[in-house]
Amino acid sequence: MIEVVRPGPLATVQDLGRPGRAHLGVPRSGAADQRAFRLANRLVGNPEGAAGVEVTFGGAALRFHVRAWISVTGAPVTLRIDGRPHGMNAPCSVSSGAVVELDTPASGLRSYVAVRGGIAVDEVLGSRSTDLLSGLGPAPLAPGDRLPIGSAAGLRHINVDVVPVAAMPETPILQILPGPRDDWFAHDALATLTSTPYEVTPDSNRVGVRLNGPPLVRARDGELGSEGMVIGSLQVPPSGLPIIFLADHPTTGGYPVVAVLASAAVAEAAQLRPGQKLRFRV
């Protein structure tokens, strides 16, 4: 069992979410940076979808009441186990009673703690993910919460010492694919989007990354009928400032999507922090 001593600004239980129910209004949810999340699980021999903890902007402390294997990936933090520093992107043994602490990350936003056996809170609609938009799944972690650990029976052996991970770029360049509604915007909208940096605003969250920068100008008036939305969509509300949809995005929406991130860029978008600049390229 794991006891939450401090969750930091926001910590939630996540797995790979609830795909396949968008037609019922259920967001996919799940770990925002799935690349880092899957790696964390592989390092401790878990299936990639085992539940772990998504720690937003560090500052978390977890006390382990049993001996366990863990790994920490994602936004680079100083990781301490009972006060002693440990490397990220590597399996670490935690003795019973030890406290695992994550400091504030030097870059990036979301770090992942996987524990061998996974976190065994109850599933809601086939997933243990906290969905901040719809309120499905467990509440965000609070001091004193107790998280059960699942069985490690039948898991693969831990056979990797450490995985080298590239540093997070100061100004990421995110690849986009135009459409599906780029024709709702002025002909130079994509040029505007790709020629100047945008800045991440503080009201960003797991639903979306809100951006400041040159607004995109509409080429046509009127209302778009509500349509299905995917993760990585750049939805443009009447302000003209795009929102990049993340894991807890609404399943349908009525504002036009000018472009969609390439799948590989979604993990990078999930690590953007308020005040950071980014660029788009087609």
Partner 1 sequence: MKVRRVGDTALLVETGDLATAHRMNAALRNVPLPGVVDVVPGERTVLVVADHSADLNRLAALLPRLPLADDTVSDAEPLEIPVVYDGEDLDEVASLTGLTRAEVVRRHSAGSYTVAYLGFSPGFGYLSGLDPALHVARRASPRKAVPAGSVAVAGPYAAVYPSRSPGGWRLLGRSRLPLWDVSRDPPSLLRPGTRVRFVPEERS
Among 156, 122, 141, residue whose Cα is nearest residue 51? 122
Minimal distance, residue 131 CB to partner 1, in Å: 9
Residues in contact with 97: Cβ distance below 8 Å, sequence separation at least 6, in sequence order: 63, 64, 65
Among 250, 268, 276, 280, the residue binding partner 1 under the rule CB under 8 A is 250
Cα-Cα-Cα-Cα torsion 14, 16, 18, 20, nearest 10 degrees, comes to 170
Site string for partner 1, 121-160 (x = CB under 8 A): ---xx-------xxxx------------------------
Contacts of 16 (CB under 8 A, 6+ apart): 30, 31, 34, 37, 48, 49, 127, 129
* Burial of 83 per CB tally in 10 Å (0-12, 13-18, 19+): exposed
The 101-120 site mask, x for binding partner 1 (CB under 8 A), equals --------------------
Question: For partner 1, which residue of 180, 197, 214, 240 counts as binding (CB under 8 A)?
Answer: 180
19 binds partner 1 (CB under 8 A): yes
Nearest by Cα to 63 from 14, 113, 104: 113
- Residue 226 sits in the site that holds partner 1 (CB under 8 A): yes
Closer by beta carbon to partner 1, 19 or else 237: 19
Residue carrying structure tokens 């009525």: 254
Q: How many residues bind partner 1 (CB under 8 A)?
A: 36
Nearer residue to partner 1 within complex by CB, 22 or 90: 22
Residue 163 has which token pair?
């995985």
169 binds partner 1 (CB under 8 A): no
Q: Which residues bind partner 1 (CB under 8 A)?
A: 19-26, 28, 124-125, 133-136, 177, 179-181, 225-230, 232-233, 250-253, 257, 260-263
